[in-house]
Structure 1
Amino acid sequence: MFVLKNVKYKDILNIEELHIPARKITVITGKSGTGKTTLLKMLNKLISPDSGEIFFKGTPLTEIDSVELRRKVVMLPQFPVVFPGNVKENLLMGLKFSGKKIPHDEELRKILKFVMLEKDLNDDPEKFSGGEKQRLALARVLLMDPEVLLLDEPTSSLDEKTGIEIIKKVSNFAKSRGKTLVMVTHNPELRKFADVLIELKNGRVL
């Protein structure tokens, strides 16, 4: 799905070669400051390498329109954005960006239940806890049904039990639909969900 060759970014990343396979769950681990989030951002062109090349399905990212790429490769940041408006409006934001059909309210309620978020569609997300905002943003990304899900520390605001249950659900979702899931985490418990485990140290792949 992704291939990186001789990718360098400031003094943060120095990757000679890295393959991230399609339709697999790839977990990226390493201590803080090792370049995990930087790598994830590069995969959907939020940032570009200073040198080297990144390929998506054989095509250099430099040749792919950024908006088109981000409709297929969707990233959930560690501190997700909550948009003005209620829960329903937040859920639909990603679908509007990707130009996809707007679902019925019942489907929106199902995705909230899936991410274990017991909220009404009319509730105000600004009043939610960090963990609730994180799950709302995850629901928004899952609704977009992209080819690739990039998750940056998706359980950082959740207690361990809830976090593991959520990742179990998301992993099953990805596998059942043939998605590519790339997840950054510092939680060793989440390694067990990996088909491929990548460990970074000082910006290099171990």
Structure 2
Amino acid sequence: MESVFQLRNIRYGDILNIQHMDIPKDKITCIVGESGSGKTTLIKMLNCLISPTEGEILFQEKNISEMDPVDLRRRVVMLGQNPVIFPVTVRDNLSIALRFSEKEPLEEQEMKKYLAMVHLDKNLDQPVENMSGGEKQRLALARVFILNPEVLLLDEPSSALDEETEILIIEETVRYVKHYGKTLIMVTHSKLIAETYGENIIKISKGQFVREGEM
């Protein structure tokens, strides 16, 4: 099976100690484990938001330390638990993503299509200040979809959502990555989500990892 990431002899302070880990390409990998086990630290290293103290990380067989970090982050996009939402309109938040990735502006109908994918029924010219935390999280996810990355790194992407909306959003994300042939690497607290959608499950415990197997 082809790997999108390969980790070799990785250390990050006293938080992570990973001797060997391969993450498969074009699959859904769920990362699970108790709070403080190093899950978020792990995925932040995958697009150079932080760098390991020791060891190397290969992205498609190229050492990420030798890559342009901006180029890497356009190809490997991360959505954190508390994504940055700019205090402007819905339209502007989506347009900012396009400018970052040096992509052409989208027509209004295309923008609305991405909002529909995350079940966000908002006017494009609506200010975001009064949107709920869950709505902002969905807007941030739509922004990730618009960027069209090769790899999506999601850190608890549904943490601000109620259970019903959580399932809808995860299903839409899975549908997106399968339709467009993407790789999804997702930190989740939910055993149900991991077992339902994960094709590969990695458990992190006290900075070490155990591959639980392929679903």
TM-score range, shorter chain: over 0.9
Higher relative contact order (CA 8 A, sep 6+): 1
Q: Does structure 1 residue 6 correspond to structure 2 residue 9?
A: yes
The alignment status of 1:90 with 2:90, answered yes or no, reads: no
Give 1:196's aligned residue: 200
* Structure 1 gap ranges (5+): none
1:73 aligned partner: 76
What is the match of residue 28 of structure 2?
25
Decide whether the 8 Å contact of 1:74 with 1:150 is kept in 2.
Answer: yes
2:142 corresponds to 1:143: no
SS in 1 for 2:129: helix
The residue number in structure 2 matching 1:129 is 132
* 1:84 Cα deviation from its structure 2 partner: 2.8
Query: Deviation at 1:189?
Result: 1.9
Q: Counterpart of 1:125 in 2: which secondary structure?
A: coil
RMSD over aligned CA atoms reads 0.7
Q: How many residues align?
A: 206
List alignment gaps of at least 5 residues for structure 2. 211-215
8 Å Cα contact 1:82-1:126 kept in structure 2: no
TM-score, length basis structure 2: 0.94
Secondary structure of 1:37's counterpart equals helix
Q: What code does the residue aligned with 1:105 have?
A: E
CA distance in 2, matches of 1:73, 1:151: 11
Identity of aligned residues (%): 51
Secondary structure at the aligned position of 2:25 is classed as coil
1:107 aligns with 110
- TM-fit CA distance, 1:186: 0.5
